[in-house]
Amino acid sequence: MPRIGVFVCQCGNNIESTVDTQKVADELKEMPGVAYTCSYKFMCSSPGQEMFKNAIKDNDLDGVIVSACSPHMHEKTFRKASEAAGLNPYKCEVANIREQCSWVHHDETKKVGTVKSLDLTRMMLERLKRNKPLKATSIPVTKKALVIGGGISGIQAALDIADGGVEVVLVEREPSIGGNMARLSETFPTMDCSQCILTPKMVEADLHENIKILTYAEVEKVDGYIGNFTITINKKAKYVDESTCTGCGECWEKCPFKADSEFELGLNKRKVIYTPFPQSVPNIPVIDAPKCPKIQKDKCGLCAKVCGPGSIDFTQKDEIVTEHVGAIIVATGFELMPNEHFGEYGYGKIKDVVSGLQFERLASSSGPTGGKIERPSDGKTPESIVFIQCAGSRDEAKGVSYCSKICCMYTAKHTMLYKHKVHEGKSYVFYMDIRAGGKRYEEFVRKAIEDDGAMYLRGRVSRVYEKNGKIMVQGVDTLSNGQQVEIEADMVVLATALISRKGADSFAQKLGIGYDKDKFYSEYHPKLKPVETVTAGIYLSGTCVGPMDIPESVSMGSAAASKALGLFSSDKMAREPITADVNKTTCNACWDCVTACPYTAIAKTEVKDREGNIVQMLAEVNVGLCQGCGVCVAACRSKSIDLAGYTDEQVYAAINAF
């Protein structure tokens, strides 16, 4: 006969006000197999836990039920206490008589709540009687991290992990790390120059002994599980030998061919052999193969002739490299909504209608105009600029439903930069609401309006067109009786919506992580597990999760790094023993479980005889990947899979006790 103890918690008045906990304890006492019961004010308190431990020892209990709040709250607490009292932690169960019982029943006679608590505890009792002592498994951890994306968030994550003494592979698809932040001129609300604060971090990452940077490279495949990932990376051919190139710049100086600069967003040209920007890290150029006449038609080859160290190699091919890592940090960043979306704003048709990011380049001292505000069409200094906020954001019909979060702030910054550079300039801002939630953000916007004279008009713009060399902006000012306004401007800047990167969905599928309707990556829990994903060992950082500003991206990078470092803090990692187990004698290899498993934790294995002939095919669960969700159990047609701690026997026993 088992010796089970039942501890009914009053939770102050949270449970006691609608449940007669003493009655629950008394009635449970009469059940076969129950050796000890009690009702207690706060089981989770220190004296409560002390009492709990003593009761286990004194009464020689071999299983315990705590009838209290949700197991999400204190299951861990009581399992730990059980272990301290010499009990297998998986012989401790929590019956939830608070969230879905005492909190939802308002019967002051305590009748309903008591009956339900009794039912819930009795069910748990029958289940517990069939609990097997489980042992936490442990898996080895490869102490190395992969960071995907070399923007500010990824750089921060890489630096923090590397500073913690763990090796990092930082993969970036562009020829240089730096991401979108490298494009910015100044940053709100402090107005420090973006490159001045970013480039030291880029260099630090480059020089860090624990960081290996792979630029012009993309993650092709991810195999394995937490602590033991195998990553296949495609290093695109740069046609430059990285080991000998000194970054002297002779090749791109002499290269006679030009193409549109991706970094300058079409506002300027670059050479066909190029680094995206002067402070590129690594400072090693790549050849734009489709546009290079030497590679395409075997003509030119000037770069090879002028290269001192002889680093140019036209025969270079894409290279596949494999890395073994224990954790992955995804920091793939954002894109701007494509320009074609804004026909009514003349985007694409009117040259002087630019995106906010393009304006950053125009205002940047390293940009195509050297920081002078000049219109792209004729290089004239604009006398007036209209800024249109929410271009695509908060517009379910034509754009995205969400707020892009950073536009209110950077538009205010743009008006200031413009005013500081062109004193006579007049800026107009069409906005829906000003969302300046952040430290010193509201003050920043007030400064743009009050000190720098930006004219804020609350309303939408219906049309932007050209007339006699001016850009006409038709809109409405809803704060002056919905009056229609028409502004003659020299330039228009659209605060275009931030969207997820192209291919973000297929990349998420490659990683086995979730994404939302806008293809932003999903956190495990939006509040309490903001950097974790549903796949253990893969963490999120930065704007691949949703629009956010630099401080948030950096914080998230550090948070993800601390999660990875936590994982790396020991050689082996304990895993919950609640995993699926296949009954080898009844499995008929239909593979329904393989299809159903959301974590790719079930593999098809072969059973061979001594001669090596395959005698049976079996599903086998990889406990490293298994999250214990139980989907395979439900999917299995031959009832060959059981979940440890939640076996069919246990579940049916609980149901029958109701």
Nearer CB in complex with other proteins: 446/463: 463
DSSP 8-state symbol, 452? S
DSSP-based three-state secondary structure for 63: strand
At which residue do the structure tokens 């040259």 appear? Answer: 351
Q: Least Å distance between CB 471 and other proteins?
A: 11
Q: Least Å distance between CB 399 and other proteins?
A: 12
Nearer CB in complex with other proteins: 390/540: 390
Q: Least Å distance between CB 266 and other proteins?
A: 19
Q: Least Å distance between CB 353 and other proteins?
A: 12
E strands in 408-482 = 426-431, 455-458, 461-467, 470-477
Nearer CB in complex with other proteins: 100/483: 483
Q: Point out which span in 63-71, 76-84, 342-350, 522-530 binds other proteins (CB under 8 A).
A: 342-350
Residue 463 engages other proteins in binding (rule: CB under 8 A): yes
Residue 472 engages other proteins in binding (rule: CB under 8 A): yes
Nearer CB in complex with other proteins: 258/349: 349
CA distance 26 to 175: 72
Structural tokens at position 185: 């001129």
Q: Least Å distance between CB 499 and other proteins?
A: 18
Which one of residues 188, 229, 277, 342 is an interface residue with other proteins (CB under 8 A)?
A: 342
Which one of residues 439, 467, 517, 527 is an interface residue with other proteins (CB under 8 A)?
A: 467
Which one of residues 163, 206, 241, 466 is an interface residue with other proteins (CB under 8 A)?
A: 466
Residue 465 engages other proteins in binding (rule: CB under 8 A): yes
Going 36 to 38 to 44 to 48, the CA torsion angle's sign is negative
Q: Least Å distance between CB 263 and other proteins?
A: 28
Q: Least Å distance between CB 594 and other proteins?
A: 36
| Axis crossing angle, helix 152-163 with helix 550-568, rounded to the nearest 10 | 30
Q: Point out which span in 19-27, 33-41, 118-126, 343-351 binds other proteins (CB under 8 A).
A: 343-351
Which one of residues 397, 528, 614, 615 is an interface residue with other proteins (CB under 8 A)?
A: 397
Which one of residues 242, 250, 313, 344 is an interface residue with other proteins (CB under 8 A)?
A: 344
Residue 430 engages other proteins in binding (rule: CB under 8 A): no
Residue 349 engages other proteins in binding (rule: CB under 8 A): yes
Residue 377 engages other proteins in binding (rule: CB under 8 A): no
| Axis crossing angle, helix 111-129 with helix 648-656, rounded to the nearest 10 | 150
Positions in 158-197 near other proteins (CB under 8 A): none
Going 144 to 149 to 153 to 156, the CA torsion angle's sign is positive
Nearer CB in complex with other proteins: 381/474: 474
Positions in 322-341 near other proteins (CB under 8 A): 340
What residues contact residue 365 under an 8 Å CB cut-off, 6+ apart? 185, 193, 371
Residue 343 engages other proteins in binding (rule: CB under 8 A): yes
- Give 3-state DSSP helix, strand, coil % of the chain, rounded to 5: 30, 25, 45
Closest CA to 303 of 313, 290, 317, 289: 313
Q: Are 219 and 230 in contact (CB under 8 A)?
A: no
Q: Point out which span in 2-10, 117-125, 364-372, 466-474 binds other proteins (CB under 8 A).
A: 466-474
Q: Least Å distance between CB 463 and other proteins?
A: 7
Residue 398 engages other proteins in binding (rule: CB under 8 A): yes
What residues contact residue 200 under an 8 Å CB cut-off, 6+ apart? none
Q: Are 52 and 81 in contact (CB under 8 A)?
A: yes
Q: Which residues of 279-308 are buried (b: 16+ CB within 10 A; e: fewer)?
A: bbbbbbbbbbbeebebbeeeebebbbeebe
DSSP string, 135-169: --EEEE---EEEEE--SHHHHHHHHHHHHTT-EEE
Q: Least Å distance between CB 466 and other proteins?
A: 8
Enclosing H/E stretch for 319: strand 319-325
| Binding region for other proteins (CB under 8 A) | 340, 342-344, 346, 349, 397-398, 463, 465-467, 472
